[in-house]
Structure 1
Amino acid sequence: MSKAQIHNTTCTLFEAPVYDGIEHTYSPEDGVIGATEEGFNDKTQSIRVGKDVSIICWQHGEGLGITQQFYEDEPEIGNSFGEGISCFCVIPNDNDVIYIKLETSKSIEGVYTLHSNVSGSGALIPVVSSSDDPDFYPIGKMSPTQIEDMFISVQVEKGGIYPANGALYFKHSAQSGGVEVDWNASDNLYPKNMSVKAVPDAKNYFVLTLESLPI
């Protein structure tokens, strides 16, 4: 087992289970890391997490596949990411990570795809998820010192047709201690045929619902 010192503000990824093998250590300042560029794509087998951070890991770098945020050490990744981890990002615990998912109203038939990404600071991997996917996906992170809103694009697509296309702003919320939609900034940009609801008892989780289709 590795005897590498684990710092409070870093995460170390190991190429063998139970914190053994070749190790790779990163901090929040490193941003989103591609394991392919770092030379160990799909090779992470265990993770040590500093007490002041977490780490988000992605199966793929194109916004598809499995995503998971680790808050504690993980001694054995196994096949929980399919072929393995391709991207990751170390997140300070005082940051708010915004999670989103797409749903459609009962009157809409078929499966639609959400394409979303962040413009500016706090960007993570772009989200590509379908309306029949029950999972939420991290779209961006806001630090406690961030003054400007977080801007995310919102595009809903099916078969190359986009029934909804716009944007959404998030801001810090004194009430929840997390983030909330800034409707003053979003009102004229967010698609009129969509709604947004915060998930009760799940800070920073939001459901984006396609309510109707253009006539």
Structure 2
Amino acid sequence: MYVLTIDQRGSTTDVDRVPGLIDALRSLTPDPFERSVGDELQGVVERAADVVDIALHALRDGHWYVGIGIGAVQLLPGGSPREGSGSGFVAARKAVEIAKGAAAQVPLSVVPGSIGRGRGLPPSAGEGATSSANAEAVLRLIGRVVQQRTPAQWRVADRLRAHGGGDIRHGSQKRVAQELGISEQSVSRAVLRSGWQEEWAARPAAAMLLEYAHTQVLAASHPAKGER
């Protein structure tokens, strides 16, 4: 399980965007998100691919800091994320605070849950930190691509996603051109300049790195006999 804590940027001078993002996320994941405190929302997500989806959606308009925590989660089935506990929640809190300090960088961070202190930590402890950092790097790279899109490019990108995500074929581009009332050449230029194909080629890599980090973090929390 992954814990996402998403905090609104510049909320003191902006409208409350939390309800709108919660509504939007319902179409991206079956896992519920809810306001945790103030201008912040939180959710516990099962699938790494959904984490990628959620993070990139939040990054696209520049209104959010995204913290992703990887670690143990104690939450009753159907329970509120506000009632949850475990190292994943602690890591998500730390991650969103790191994201707030990202300055000009993409405001996203991935943090592995703590496995405690002391010597004799299993090899997977270091691997969990490394793989979390790798996942963060790839997500930030894709996030940069997403953030740099123009409104016109997003109109094309959103219609292409409605027709099958990253599976771009001549037929889908033609339908998008007809729906938007523009030429197929304009759609092709938007696809090229927006990095649409590169984004969708990299999404599985980001999800795979998150999954690997999750495996390593949990392995470090429950080391095999002889690794203690």
TM-score after normalising by structure 2: 0.29
The structure, 1 or 2, with the larger RCO (C-alpha pairs under 8 Å, 6+ apart) is 2
TM-score after normalising by structure 1: 0.31
